[in-house]
A and B are shown apart, each in its own frame.
Chain A
Amino acid sequence: MDIWLSALQTVFSPTTLFFIAFGVLLGTILGAIPGLNSTMGTALLIPFTFAMEPANGLAMLAAVYCGGTFGGSISAILFNVPGAPEAAATGFDGYPMAQKGQAGEALGYAIMSSVLGGLFSVLVLNLVAPQLAEVGLTFSQPEYFALAVAALTLIASLGGAGMAKAFIAGLIGLLLATVGIDELTADPRFTFGTKALMGGINFIPAIIGAFAVGEILAKAEEGSGLSGEHLTMKVSTKLPRLKELLRLKWTMLRSAVIGTAIGILPGVGATTAAFIGYSEAVRWSKHPEKFGTGVPEGICGPETANNAATGGAMVPLLTLGIPGSATTAVMIGGFLVHGLQPGPMLFMNQPKLMYSIFIAMYVANIFMLFAGLGVAKVFANFRKVRYSILGPVIFIFAAIGSFGIRNDMTDLWIMFVCGIVGYFFKKFKYPIAPMIIGLVLGPLTEVSLRKGMFMTDYELYPFLMRPISGTILVIAVGSVLWNLYTVFIKKKKASLEEIE
């Protein structure tokens, strides 16, 4: 108890509060700008933390991480350009909602879900971090494969009546993920002898291209109406009311649990958490056909999950010294500059510091509410700009966002080609979201399947016999069959009505 009080005293000192607020604001801004992210911000701030008290420095880094994970959703909702990869799924429903003139509401849902998701995961981190870290380490290839399959089954729900087209789009995404050097055998695949494709197709330029560039090309063709009515409307962020939040409680709770659990798994991260959060929101919804048209559940699902993953990713970092994401890997540097080694010994040797980080993360998530409102307000003003001006600006940010990942021109061309694909998908009614889901989850699905099969001596039944993977796979397959059944029933009803 004394340690808690002492940690509270440290965090609630004006200096620490200032650094947390600064970290959240900086993280949110970096997250909202395509091409910049919280990992970059954390790396740049590490040298500055050297001169600070360890608690202040580490609290600031944790705050940048929390803010950065949320920030990406601002540009995803307003301009269909996810500022960070973990915000890509938020744009599936966030942008359509903004197009309907409800950008303020969409931003409000994103902010609130992020705050609640983040707080939930810190609470979990606080209570059962060591136990969860051990459970996380028992996850093996079959469990990873089951998780990936469960998220991919979302494609069946996204297709609606055009399920075949949704599956084709998803398969194209999975195929794009195979381009480059095979992770297991180091064989080049679909590189056609070029070095440029050896590194594979990064999903960030593909997402930016398919959504943002595809939209710009479509608008260029439309020509007239480039300053549509909704673009000239004032956008003010509206936080959801308690009644609306209560309506979404199960979506948020489910995503918070998913996000925290996935965050704990090393190497999976907030992006996968967001996609699985979205997929589960669709699976359990009474109206899965409405997803993709701008529904609050489509924002709360991924946004709660991706911020919950931030707390989750801190679990293996603080308890075992294993980073759960790219940013937490960089944060190890923050510990090392102060001569600290994250891991179990840190809890014994520096309990006050550990509890200070926990409390700082609570505070950071609450500050995120205000930082989110402020940054969203600034970015929302850009929506008032005519599309004939905004379109080229979005293209430039999309291009720099793609180039910034690896400083490679290939990523720019990938963005552009995916933009053309996105344009034709839209034109011929192929949903884009399944392609992105396939591209994001492709490597995890393939590698976990092949490694898992190798582990089980090329037998598939051990995947079903293991309790966690078996349960997830049964639920996933069951939900696809249920979807097929409902589509079949709907078609039958429609044809009967036609005859009558």
Chain B
Amino acid sequence: MLKGELIFSLLIFVGSLLLYWVTGSFATASVLQGGQMGPAFWPRFILGSIILLSGIVSVGMIHKIVKEKAWGESLLTMDRGKVRFFAAIGLCVAYLALLPVLGFIAVTPLFMIAFMLLLGEKSKGWIIGVSIAMTGIIVVLFTKAMYVPLPRGVWLFREFSLLFY
């Protein structure tokens, strides 16, 4: 865990340095009264503070690792938990990417079924029932009762969504 913590704080450190460099592009875009407090002032102040603090945290972590001689487990080891974690991320990415293409009503039940199976749900009745019922409830509640639009998708999927909302 220590190794992961160190990498995370180093990532914040390096990311902040890069973003500090990016602020150079909007510092010159506009200047207020002698260049004071333009659009780059506040982000630079924040990034400078993050760089300083993440540097301190990283040095502290290195010191701790050297002192305790404990690097923790390898980050590349793939146990079942990590596989499930990455699968969950993959599912969420797929859902968000497909939502504007297939529309809410077509993609949501499929996503819910896949996610429930991933989380270890075994009851087929619950999986199918909840997926369909929840999609239906959300469609009725949001589009019919509260007039909140949901993604309809494109092409044939749009026609399909238009049958319901």
Contacts and interface: CB of A to CB of B under 8 A. Distances in A.
7 contacts: A36-B141, A44-B146, A185-B30, A217-B89, A393-B112, A420-B89, A428-B4
B53 A164 contact: yes
B37 A222 contact: no
A424 B85 CA distance: 12
Given A393-B134, A400-B138, A416-B96, A190 B43 contact: yes
Contacts of A352: none
Interface stretch (B62-70, B148-156, B157-165): B148-156
B144 to A, nearest CB: 12
Interface stretch (A269-277, A317-325, A327-335, A404-412): A404-412
B115 A391 contact: yes
A269 to B, nearest CB: 21
Interface in B80-127: 80-82, 84-85, 87-89, 92-93, 95-96, 99-100, 108, 111-112, 115-116, 118-121, 126-127
A33 B118 contact: no
Contacts of B39: 182, 184-185, 187, 189
The winner among A190, A221, A420 for most chain B CB atoms within 10 A is A221
Nearest to B96: A412
B12 A168 contact: yes
Given A453-B37, A458-B37, A221 B30 contact: no
A429 interface: yes
Interface string B1-41: 10011001100100000010011001001101100111111
The winner among A182, A396, A416 for most chain B CB atoms within 10 A is A396
A393 B115 CA distance: 10
Contacts of A392: 111-112, 115-116, 119, 131
A221 B83 CA distance: 8
Contacts of A221: 81-82, 84-85, 88
Interface string A303-330: 0000000000000000000000000000
Given A188-B26, A450-B41, A168 B54 contact: yes
Nearest to A40: B146
A172 B50 contact: yes
Contact of B134 (A40, A217, A226, A396): A396
A55 interface: no
B142 interface: yes
| 4 shortest interchain CB distances as A-B pairs | A388-B121, A388-B119, A220-B88, A392-B115
Nearest to A166: B53
Contact of B8 (A178, A407, A412, A424): A424
Contact of A178 (B46, B82, B85, B121): B46
Contact of B149 (A165, A175, A216, A407): A407
Interface size class of chain A, counting residues whose CB lies under 8 Å from the partner chain = 35 or more
A168 B50 contact: yes
B5 to A, nearest CB: 5
Given A221-B82, A392-B111, 7 more contacts: A168-B57, A220-B119, A221-B81, A387-B119, A392-B116, A413-B96, A449-B42
B8 to A, nearest CB: 5
Interface string A244-265: 0000000000000000000000
Nearest to A173: B46
Contacts of B36: 453, 458
A216 B88 contact: yes
A174 interface: yes
A171 interface: yes
A491 interface: no
Interface residues of B, number: 68
B134 to A, nearest CB: 6
Contacts of A226: 119-120
Contacts of B108: 396
A18 interface: no
Contacts of B38: 185
A223 B42 contact: no
A454 B43 CA distance: 18
Given A182-B39, A416-B92, A416-B93, A222 B81 contact: yes
Nearest to A427: B4
Contacts of B118: 220
A168 B50 CA distance: 6
A379 interface: no
B64 to A, nearest CB: 13
Interface string A395-407: 1110110011001
Nearest to A425: B8
A254 to B, nearest CB: 29
A219 interface: yes
Nearest to B47: A175
B110 to A, nearest CB: 11
Contact of A393 (B41, B89, B130, B142): B130
A478 to B, nearest CB: 20
B147 interface: yes
Contacts of B140: none
Interface in A372-396: 386-389, 391-393, 395-396
Contacts of A219: 119
Interface in A214-241: 216-217, 219-224, 226
A473 B150 CA distance: 45
Contact of A185 (B32, B50, B89, B131): B32
